[in-house]
Amino acid sequence: MTHIGDVGPLALGGAPLGNMFEPVSEEDAQATVDAAWARGVRFFDTAPLYGHGVSERRIGRALADRPRDEYVLSTKVGRLLAPTGDAKPDPTIFVDVPPVEPVFDFSRDGTLRSVEASFERLGVDRIDLLHVHDPDDHLDAAEDGAFRALVRLREEGVIRAVGLGTNLTSVANRFVGRVDLDWLLLAGRCTLLDRSGPEEVFDRCIDHDVRILAAGVFNSGVLASPSTDASFFYEPVPADVLARVRRLQVACADYDVPLAAAAIQFPLRMRGVDTVLVGARTAAEVDEDADLLDVPIPVELWNALDAL
């Protein structure tokens, strides 16, 4: 098992830079990474899925002039990008994508091909951390293929660490302690709305020396800007969830604390979590997230939120 050093409390997630939900210009993508760097971010996460390769290319270009030993770069395996020919790619949450479509492949050969393609898109000679991405419906294939391949690449020094990226605690519990993991990237399950990560899997991570990257801290947006138009797990927010968010918002207002500040800081209260992974599409969003981490939150508010 190889350890990556302290990466700080904030990491930049690359999904929005892959044109998630709406287009992002090349200039804004560069400015977003530049702003993250200026705010001390040294952990950058992306994936072939994000914009069907767009995010990897943009993050690679944006970091090209940075000293390679000063930041941690992570991407993922589990989906190969297959050319669509003359056909347009099927609509997904990513827009303005190249003529390729992500196809699940957790085999050893597919994993090695994915890694090679990511190296090319990122334009780097080293990937620090590789996550097996969303193996939810491919558990055996991921265990026998992708994880074995990544452990071998770590042994050979091609990568520094092996991770699992998932939204499901059941998938995390399947692999933590069963394969030689260094990191767990768990999205949406260590939030003000969903505490199943700390309740169901974090102790297991600590027991097996697996570091935890808490992602999806705003639950797709509803905890950042509550409204009937907000998203919750990439779907329209249900009325009962929005009602819960409104109660959290009222509790925060009683202490003059933005709900988003409580949302982004919440995972860092959990044992085993040192870093939150937050996506951004503009420099202003990066600055906003970094500022939210600095908002003082009294223990009385945490107690009120815990009670809710």
User: Coil, helix or strand for 142?
Assistant: helix
Helix, strand, coil shares, percent, the chain, to 5: 40, 20, 40
Q: Say whether 50 is catalytic.
A: yes
Cα–Cα dist 213/46, whole Å: 13
The dihedrals phi and psi of 162, each to the nearest 5 degrees, come to -115, 135
In one-letter notation, the amino acid at residue 101 is: E
Cα–Cα dist 149/179, whole Å: 12
Q: Which residue has the tokens 């085999």?
A: 107
Q: How many residues does the chain have?
A: 308
Residues near 224 by beta carbon (within 8 Å), at least 6 away in sequence: 218, 259, 260, 263
Strands (E), 6-144: 10-13, 43-45, 72-77, 79-83, 100-104, 127-133
Burial class of residue 181, CB neighbours in 10 A (0-12, 13-18, 19+): buried
Active site residue ranges: 50
